[in-house]
Amino acid sequence: MVKKWVIATLGAVLALNLAGCSADGGSKGAAGSSDAPASSKGTAGEKTKIIYWTPDRHDAEFMKAKIDKFNQTNHDNIEVEMNVMGDNYPQAVDIAFASKQAPDVLQINDFQTYYKKGYLAPINSYMSDEMKKTFKDSQIENKNSIDGKIYTLPNTGQIWRLVYNKDIFKKAGIASPPKTIADMVAAAKKITEVGKSEGIYGFASPFKSGTGFWRAANTIAGASNNFGIDGYNYKTGQFDFSMYKDIALALRQMKEDGSMLPGVENLDIDPLRAQFAQGKIGMYVNHSAEPGVYKDQFPTTENWGAVPVPTADGTIKGAFPIIGGSYIGISADSTHKEAAWKFMEYVYSNELQTEYYEKGYGISLIPAVLKSGKKPSIPGIEGFLPKRYDAIYPANPGTITESSLEGMKWPETFNTFVFTGGDVDAVIQDLDTRYNASLQKLRAAGTTNIVADPAFDAAKLQGKLSTEE
């Protein structure tokens, strides 16, 4: 009885998600595992319906226009419906596959997990020789392909920066953005002292979920060491959460100083952006979607900019991790895989990807686009363009390790520390113990093939995607 109730509840959640998030006002599930060709149509003029799921809202209007164009101009009678999902996208994807209502094409926000769960269909056989050549040098094992089978291709990456309000800094008498973690703590305190009477605070991050700590800390940690990100040490092949000690203590200090926006522990990213657009936040850490957000989603007249995040001592020992490499893929359950591929091929076309990059919706990871496309002119984008110290890291077993993890995940654990305090060394030791125990189980079971790389040096990843002249 309990299982039936859970299934019914999950189904209701999915139904509400679909009803509330469709860009076109409808929904459709793609059940079964057969591969019906795109030309399979019942009566003359009947459309082959393709459902596409994405959690991205910052580019929704652009993509909706492009999908409308595809629907009007494709010669295969394919009609694509885009559903822009909410913050619970990962859960919605799991529920959709469990209930045989998965979309035909979906954005892949966790490649290794989706692969292990059998959600994705390989696309090698659909790709032309020209397309394979275009993406040859930008594919990454365990992010796009596994064992020679390609499931997704790169398009854009998130370039992470410290986003700050220039006028607020000036008003607080701060000459330049912080270079060190200690400078960031001091700047947040000074901004709050000067601006609190007007509801202005120094720092914020969307701490409602674990991503609040991750967003603020991961890029800082990656640049401050040369051995890892996501808590994973590529050199040793083990988890080592000491990489976050300095930034965890700094965020805790800002909380104790009262330098964070009130209620930040219950803040999502969009409400944070809305507050920043109103001139109420001095700085926060986020990625290259922000120019599009402040142009279309939360238009603002605030004088803002983006600069490299501070590091532990002001030097860059590793690299600023570019988050990305995976984009969209075809559902293994789709009954219209050929039609789904035609849409996927359209999305990955050089024309669409170049326009997407030039309009500032994302920083391209496709070398051909970076070489041929003009630099975006959207306000604020300059600070997010790839520089020497930005780099794509190899895949690590972070997310997949959590599938067998006992206890709270690391971002949530550090979140708790930021707001309640405690012994940070004990927090780190507990995380190391639990994560490495989980990783050992997965390696013993053959679930992950990622092992130690003693020669790894994050500094050697630098410079491969830089747009600097």
Tell me the average pLDDT across 380-409. 90
Q: Residue 3 — very low, low, confident or very high, per pLDDT cuts 50/70/90?
A: very low
**Same topology for domains 2-158+324-385 and 161-321+395-461, yes or no?**
yes
Q: Would the pLDDT of 454 be above 90?
A: yes
- Calculate mean pLDDT across residues 243-255: 98
Q: Is the pLDDT assigned to residue 24 strictly greater than 80?
A: no
The residues spanned by each domain of the chain are: 2-158+324-385, 161-321+395-461
Q: Is the pLDDT of residue 30 over 90?
A: no
Report the 10 Å Cβ neighbour count for 364: 25
Q: Is the pLDDT of residue 10 over 80?
A: no
- Kindly report, residue by residue over 129-182, the tens digit of the pLDDT: 999 988 887 788 888 999 899 999 999 888 999 999 999 999 999 999 999 999
Q: How far apart are CA 143 and CA 150, in angstroms?
A: 9
Residue 22 confidence (pLDDT): 43
CB 356 within 8 A of CB 59: yes
State the pLDDT at residue 13.
Answer: 45
Confidence check: pLDDT of 64 > 60: yes
Residue 306: pLDDT over 50: yes
The fold for domain 2-158+324-385 equals D-Maltodextrin-Binding Protein; domain 2 (3.40.190)
Instruction: Report the CATH fold assignment for 161-321+395-461.
Output: D-Maltodextrin-Binding Protein; domain 2 (3.40.190)
| Model confidence, pTM | 0.77
pLDDT digits (tens, 9 = 90+) for 397-447: 998 898 889 999 999 999 999 999 999 999 999 999 999 999 999 999 988
Q: Percent of the chain having pLDDT more than 90?
A: 70
Q: Measuring CA to CA, which residue among 294, 312, 296 is closest to residue 304?
A: 294
Q: What's the whole-number mean pLDDT along residues 33-42? A: 37
What integer best gives the mean pLDDT of the chain?
Answer: 88
Please write the tens of the pLDDT for every residue from 214-228. 999 999 999 999 999
CA 179/CA 177 separation, integer angstroms: 7
SS3 of the chain: CHHHHHHHHHHHHHHHHHHHHECCCCCCCCCCCCCCCCCCCCCCCCCEEEEEEECCCCCHHHHHHHHHHHHHHCCCCEEEEEEECCCCHHHHHHHHHHCCCCCCEEECCCHHHHHHCCCEECCHHHCCHHHHHHHHHHCCECCCEECCEECCCCCEEECCEEEEEHHHHHHCCCCCCCCEHHHHHHHHHHHHHHHHHHCCEEECCCCCCCHHHHHHHHHHHHHHCCCEECCEECCCCEECHHHHHHHHHHHHHHHHHCCECCCHHHCCHHHHHHHHHCCCEEEEEECCCHHHHHHHHCCCCCCEEEECCCECCCCCCCCEECEECCCEEEECCCCCHHHHHHHHHHHCCHHHHHHHHHCCCCEECCHHHHHHCCCCCCCCHHHHCCCCCEECCCCCCHHHHHHHCCCCCHHHHHHHHHHHCCCHHHHHHHHHHHHHHHHHHHHHCCCCCCCCCCCCCHHHHCCCCCCCC
The percentage of the chain sitting over the pLDDT mark of 70, rounded to a whole number, equals 89
Contacts of 431 (CB under 8 A, 6+ apart): 231, 239, 241, 410, 413
58 or 43, greater pLDDT: 58
Residue 44 pLDDT: 53
Cβ-Cβ contacts under 8 Å for 86 (sequence gap 6 or more): 17, 20, 21, 55, 92
